[in-house]
Amino acid sequence: MAERNERYRGLFLHAKDTARGDRIVTFLCKEGILSLFLFGGPKSSLRSVATPYILADIEVYRDRRNDFSKLTGATILETFDSLHTSFSHMQAAAAAAEFVIRTSAFGGEYGLALQMITTLLRELPSIEEDSAPYAMYAFLWNALAPQGLAPDISACEHCGKRFTEEGSLPGRLLAGERSFLCARCAEERRRQGFPASAMLLIDAMVLQCLREILDVSYSQAARCMSANPSLLHIEAIIESLAESAAEGPLQSLRLFH
Ligand SMILES: [Zn+2]
């Protein structure tokens, strides 16, 4: 059978209107990330549903022969209204969505990505405007492990020296790389010509925070980060690792700066 209707439950991550007035939406569900066409101008009633960040049950008409999918129906399950009244909440959602799209849902972990981003959207309203970026950083940090890209936070990946050992800190993350180095191994890389300005500092406060924000709620993680004296280093480290995972800069992260 070349054509059929399919049903999915998930979240609209992105919408783009074409010059002709049609819309292409990106939809995350546990089956995958779907790219769907939505025909018709502004009067199409589906348009108000097919908008980022709405959780919905959808119907898709798939023409397998032409490898083409059309959104034919959508029922709203949940909207996240705080996003529309808060710039920083919207930016946090946009950065999380961009990361999910760019990494193909953490390398194919569609169900997990859907669950994580839905949880983030549900928690954002309870998070202070100023702290919303921290919730988003916690999301990015937690999203590295399923991709196998979370660095070892207990020991230097080069020499194995534990970060609790004297003289191991401050360590460094080399921008663009994925492992944490102890003070001596980082110094060795610097002498070999790696620019010191592209080395991100890792102290005990950074490691403590990175450990704490694994597997706690996003609001707890945001509180934990906002109270940490090494906040700027934590942000820089997560940003560098997230952009490595996404294989390039994340536009929505840039808007925070
Ligand atoms: Zn080392």
Q: Are 209 and 203 in contact (CB under 8 A)?
A: no
CATH number at residue 28: 2.40.50.140
Q: Check whether residue 62 and residue 121 sit in a common domain.
A: no
CA 109 – ligand 1 centroid, Å = 32
Burial pattern 128-139, b for ≥16 Cβ within 10 A else e, equals eeebbbbbbbbb
Residues 6+ apart with CB under 8 A from 139: 92, 96, 99, 116, 117, 120, 218
Tell me the whole-structure pTM to 2 decimals: 0.94
CA 112 – ligand 1 centroid, Å = 33
CA 207 – ligand 1 centroid, Å = 15
CA 220 – ligand 1 centroid, Å = 31
Q: Does residue 53 have a cis peptide bond before it, meaning omega lies within 30 degrees of 0?
A: yes
Residues 6+ apart with CB under 8 A from 31: 8, 110
- For the chain, 257 residues long, give each residue's pLDDT as a single digit of tens: 445 789 999 999 999 998 888 899 999 999 999 999 998 766 678 988 999 999 999 999 988 777 789 999 999 999 998 888 899 999 999 999 999 999 999 999 999 999 999 999 999 999 999 999 999 999 999 999 999 999 999 999 999 999 999 999 999 999 999 999 999 999 999 999 999 999 999 999 999 999 999 979 999 999 999 999 999 999 999 999 999 999 999 998 887 76
CA 158 – ligand 1 centroid, Å = 5
Q: Check whether residue 67 and residue 96 sit in a common domain.
A: no
- The domain boundary, picked from 24, 46, 79, lies at 79
Q: Could you tell me the residue range of the domain that residue 154 belongs to?
A: 88-257
CA 167/CA 211 separation, integer angstroms:
20
Q: Domain tally for the chain?
A: 2
Average per-residue pLDDT for the chain: 93
Q: Check whether residue 13 and residue 95 sit in a common domain.
A: no
Q: Check whether residue 245 and residue 151 sit in a common domain.
A: yes
Q: Check whether residue 131 and residue 156 sit in a common domain.
A: yes
Q: Check whether residue 126 and residue 8 sit in a common domain.
A: no
- The domain boundary, picked from 29, 48, 79, lies at 79
Q: Check whether residue 66 and residue 106 sit in a common domain.
A: no
CATH number at residue 245: 1.20.1440
The tens digit of pLDDT for each residue in 46-66 reads 988 999 999 999 999 988 777
